[in-house]
Structure 1
Amino acid sequence: MRMKLMTRKMFTSPCYSNLMSYFCFLSTLQVTCGTNFISSFPSSTVDNETSLFFHHDHSNAYPQLNHPSKPIKSKKIKSSVQKRSYKENPLDSPYSYFSTEPSVTNSDENDPGDNYIGDVPEFVDAISNITVPIGREARLTCIVRNLGVFKVAWMRIEDQTILTIHDHIITRNYRIGLSHSELRVWNLIINDAQEEDRGGYMCQINTVPMLYQIGFLDVVVPPRILTAETSVDVMRRENSNATLTCRARGYPLPRITWRREDGKPIEYGNWQEKKDQGIQPPEEFEGEQLTINKVSRLHMGAYLCIATNGVQPSVSHRIILNVHFPPMIWVPNQLIAASMGSDAVLICNTESSPKSINYWTKDDEDALISNDKYEIHTVERLYRAQMILKIKDISPNDFGTFKCYARNSLGSTEGSIKLYGIHSPGGKGARRDPTNARSRSSNDGSDVNNDITSGNQKQSKTMSIVVNLVNIIFNLIFVTINY
């Protein structure tokens, strides 16, 4: 009969549908079957400490484990903590797990009800709000004075989950821990803090009315680059528009800044108009998207997008901007003079993107290759390249016109250099004609031939003078011997 009454009460109680129906069930068992029945449960299931936080009142169907045989008139206890109404805090409503309404208790001296005579508990200081990086340990501290026989509990506000009651951990969350020191300092420990742990936590004392205070935990997350939403290397034709995109996530929301890897200023937007107006470009640009109108080869290079939000470490992403254009060649000296037996160096400077195929020819014949006569190499930097042709031990057959070529998928170009011979009485060595080839007349070939002819004539005159001197010396010696 008593079990039927117990079952009827359990299923007709409004708190059965509550998340704490488990505790309501235990409370109903005690009301129906008595304390001895509840004591048969393991201590891990229910204990006297847990029962102190749940009060019974048939008007609101919140059972109390220590149900009195006779109601006792409540006595008011002076407290330094002001009672808070439901309007001040929604958690004090009858639907909170811990009711703040006065409860009816028995005369047991271990019961912290209204008939308790002694020092009233109070909080020494407010719970400090804390901020921890994700994955670290978070510790919320509640300091209580004069706790006596009362109990301390921790509850998460957002979902009204009971975490701990006194020195017992109620939640199944394995990351929740508890520590206390001499019933005064109560620490709620959250290991490996995650973003879902962010929010408010309430420290409660089961006085009547209930005492509580709230601390807040903020979990910050370092920035990370969203590679799926971030640009990879970008290729654009010269004079078209280019946009680089970089997105990141974190808490707080990261700030995105752009820099050039080579340290040059960032020309963005209508950079040509700003340049005409004398506006200097900045070294940094802020925003998720960097747009350059009418991009030129000067904008080519590596760009760094850096995400920061005050949480270490900051992260960066490298994006290379490639600007494609047909090759062009610039020849520093188009006329090179060299003497017989010396070496001559010919240079062509090229610019192209994508990288061009570079080669040399002589007198429009086949391409030259490196051998004992010619030494060919190229020095490259970004879209620039320097073509160098070294001609060794010059002979009359080496004089003529050399051409440098550059070709890529967008076009081709060429440059020409003319090598001519000179007489160098001071010894070996090649020299560059200081006169630019563009200002010289079309009779360069005849001038070269005239120079060679005049050199040969001077050499013949010198040999004649030497022969005459030798003859004079021999004549003098012969005359002296005869004398």
Structure 2
Amino acid sequence: MEKMAGKGLGGEVIGFFLAVAFCIICPEYVSSAQRELGKGSPANTSATASPSGSVDNAIRTGAAVADTPRPTPRTGPYFDLVASKNVTALLGKTAYLNCRVKNLGNKTLNMQVSWVRHRDIHLLTVGRYTYTSDQRFRAIHLPHSEDWTLQIKFPQHRDSGIYECQISTTPHMSHYIHLNVVEPTTEIIGGPELYIDRGSTINLTCVVLYSPEPPAYIFWNHNDAIISYDSPRGGVSVVTEKGETTTSFLLIQQARPADSGTYQCNPSNAQSKSIVVHVLNEANSIFPLSGEYPAAMQRGGQAFAPTSATHCLVLAACLFLSLS
């Protein structure tokens, strides 16, 4: 028995030294075995998921970039919408409708740019030629230019509407431009009559509306005579603010009866407008200083009459007798 125990103890010692020697001699085999054992560990799984996930995201990002459509150059003609806009024209002033066609190149021999009026489906121009008996219309195109312009002289309200710029492709290409012919209007605030107290400041405001461009000038008249801002009278000035809505202010300080009359605002691109100004003296005021008042006046929706001094004395006497 002691021999067997000795042999067992000796065998364990020999096995221990053999295992140590094996680990020293073959470390790569141990490392690979540890990796195989770690595959079933949840912690290792989460640790390895991050790098693989980042690779997958990189692949997907690259795929998304590859799928992004890239702009391709156009090969056929097309309209430049920025240079082919709707037009607002002043009544009686020449209007220009522009149509810019890109990539037409030398195809003008086979393709033509035309203008058609939609109101009556009337062909107005083809290329540089005009196909209408109305001499107000004309085609304008410069060599090597991309602009095809329709000129309309003396436009009227009936000329408002849609005009089609057409390219003779198969099928044809169209771009629509709307023409709006407007007539500016003039208004004087506070008209048609204005009452001013003597000694105050006359402030007349003239507004020009619906004008595609500001008027070049605005004249003021008083009783059909142009107002002179350097006259000996003095105290007369004009301030004009131009923009989409143009406003002109006429200021006359220390108003006097001679300033009464008809004032007229005359813009360069719109009809004139008039207002009648009355400068009131003290004798023309609603409540004169003589102390006389109307027999009845409206106050708060109820009429009342002034009480005479005699009535007041009678009421006072009655009150005194009743108290005594």
Task: Compare the two structures and name the one with the higher helix fraction.
Answer: 2
Q: Same fold (TM over 0.5)?
A: no
Q: TM-score, normalised by structure 1?
A: 0.27
TM-score by length of structure 2 reads 0.38
